[in-house]
Structure 1
């Protein structure tokens, strides 16, 4: 499966993080990001520390952060549908998913150190930082498409509020995550870094999803899991590259479905339009070609379905929060 590394903020040592960097590292996993701090002059850095975001697999994004708040900072954003997994290794995180406010932290009860949040629809997210506060966290974002491709497709009622499942992470998982949230690991050559982060992300997903989807959830109700073989086949065809250039009409014909039915079912199962998923995967494939083969921008634009390199660069930045030229920087670093 193709993957693309997206690191809007990649730091090898603790440093000051300003509003632009904070928005960049949040762009691939959250929308409409707003920042507010009573005594902040909008030019000074907001955090001290480092953050790193990587797309482990298509639709699986891992963010690690070790930061200290300079201000009483309130961050607001909109999270897309899917599953958000958060684990605090040190310090405390005061967050809100929709109308559900929680505090995660090492000093909290064991079951309040980690949470998996199932979002049936886009939801408001709020983080309340406190001046002098410290947060050492690992966050994993899983899109509906990733969940479906890995056997976790679900068809929630869009009126359903966020569902929170708390669980106690194993000592082995905690040790693994402590090993990767380190500037030395994050500054390693890209291939080495990606292998380390991939192992950590898959282990985190395994424990969290076992708690959130297997058996009875924290509220005593069965987690709603469904599957559609044709849609799962579609995800495999797209992510494998075989049908990435295909039109939606061709994909529908390949699956023996009408175009309207395919579009309706895809949005219902995965929480996003088929066209948006195709665009993201094409852009990711182009970014990977730049990173691995040094492909020029014009050829990469054509691979992604754009006739203009400028339009391709604009779409890439909008989707991943960074210019495609940064992928070439990753190739040189390797």
Structure 2
């Protein structure tokens, strides 16, 4: 029998931080909604460890409404990676199949509704023009944006995750909400694409700032200096950075430092104290606390995996 995820993936893997498969855990909750023709993925889990997924995603429109939880993901190309947190909505449109990766932080609850609309469903619903217009501001075959979720979409996602109806009535309610979310999201995303096209110069400067951070994570970056380098006032810099990448500049820097430290522990076998220094922490205990809060497990587990 064909796996339900084959409707949206050509290939896929979902693993926890110990390398154990979690595909059945997530797929067991997924369901296909014939109208409007989408995969509905309800996520209501307590995650004791980080979850990593990867695969080749088919063309289509993918919406994740996050009420609780945090993580990152997107196409492998760094330029289009996104980060998400509580009460956010992530929209990813793909014109062609693309390799995708994602990570969900452990140590907390994941309460999120995912909707995946294959390209064929978009065309059948008569939204092909709106779908293709999302790519007008970029020369690539993907469009990714993370936004604060509007109250109406949050309310619909909450009801989809905790339905009060049963049987056919529940199916109709889920389908109606999925259809409305699609209509609202493609409109919101279309406006964002137009804004990004109009402010492409500012986007390039913000991407240059992000790339500079990635290139020198040990540097004691200051938001005021980043704002000056971007040619944006300090007051509005974080707002623009969050709109572009889903998180503030300070949160982005902290996350990237922790990720770099984790990779160095695993791949280079450095000590926890060295990793703390790499991540900009003078106190290894503070580093361990921040690491555990972000990834859902202690940095010592990374050391164990290298032995």
TM-score by length of 1: 0.49
Q: Equivalent residue for 1:130?
A: 105
What SS is found at the alignment partner of 2:14? strand
1:33 matched to 2:21? The reply is no
Structure 2-normalised TM-score? 0.53
Out of 159, 164, 178, the residue aligned to residue 179 of structure 1 is 159
Match of 1:213 in 2: 190
Which deviations, in whole Å up to 9, do the C-alpha atoms of 1:157-216 show, x marking residues without a partner?
99724212344433222112212202655xx21x11111101210121111010223585
Q: Secondary structure at the match of 2:50?
A: coil
C-alpha distance in structure 2 between counterparts of 1:82 and 1:35, whole Å: 20
> Is 1:86 paired with 2:64?
yes
Instruction: Point out where structure 1 has 5 or more consecutive residues left out of the alignment.
Output: 1-7, 9-22, 108-112, 223-334
Q: Distance in 2 between matches of 1:60 and 1:46?
A: 19
Distance 1:119 1:45 in 2: 23
Instruction: Note if contact 1:59-1:142 (Cα within 8 Å) is conserved in structure 2.
Output: yes
Equivalent residues in 2 for 1:32-111 (5 A)? 32-40=11-19, 51-57=29-35, 59-99=37-77, 100-106=80-86
Q: CA–CA distance in 2 between the matches of 1:117 and 1:81?
A: 10
- Cα distance change of structure 1 residues 135 and 218 upon mapping to structure 2, 3 Å threshold: farther
Please give the per-residue CA displacement for 1:26-77, whole angstroms capped at 9, x wherever unaligned.
Answer: 33322311234453455x8986997332224264332221123243332111
Give unpaired runs (5+ residues) of structure 2: 200-307
For residue 121 of structure 1, give the secondary structure of its aligned residue in structure 2: coil
Residue 175 of structure 2: SS of its match in structure 1?
A: helix
Q: Please state if 1:121 is matched with 2:101.
A: no
Q: Extract structure 1 runs of 4+ deviating beyond 6 A.
A: 156-159
The number of equivalent residue pairs is 192
Q: 1:217 to 1:52 in 2, by over 3 A?
A: same
RMSD: 3.4
Residues 166 and 217 (structure 1), Cα distance of their counterparts in 2 relative to 1, 3 Å cut:
farther
Q: CA separation in 2, counterparts of 1:24 and 1:68?
A: 24
- What's the CA shift for 1:133? 3.5
| Distance in 1 between residues matched to 2:153 and 2:97, nearest whole Å | 29
Corresponding residue SS for 1:33: strand
Counterpart-to-counterpart distance in 2, 1:121 and 1:221: 25
SS of the aligned residue for 1:151 comes to: coil
Q: Cα gap change, 1:160/1:52 in structure 2, threshold over 3 Å: closer, same or farther? A: same
| Contact 1:56-1:194 at 8 Å conserved across structures | no
Alpha-carbon distance between aligned partners in 1 of 2:198 and 2:94, rounded to the nearest angstrom: 16
* Corresponding position of 1:151: 126
- Residue 147 of structure 1: SS of its match in structure 2? helix
Q: Deviations over 1:205-262 (max 9, x none)?
A: 111010223585342269xxxxxxxxxxxxxxxxxxxxxxxxxxxxxxxxxxxxxxxx
Asked if the contact 1:48–1:70 (Cα under 8 Å) also holds between the matched residues in 2, the reply is no
- Counterpart CA distance in 1 for 2:124 and 2:107 is 41
> Contact between 1:34 and 1:75, CA under 8 Å: does it hold in 2?
yes
**For 1:62, what is the secondary structure of its paired residue?**
strand
Name 1:263's counterpart in structure 2. none
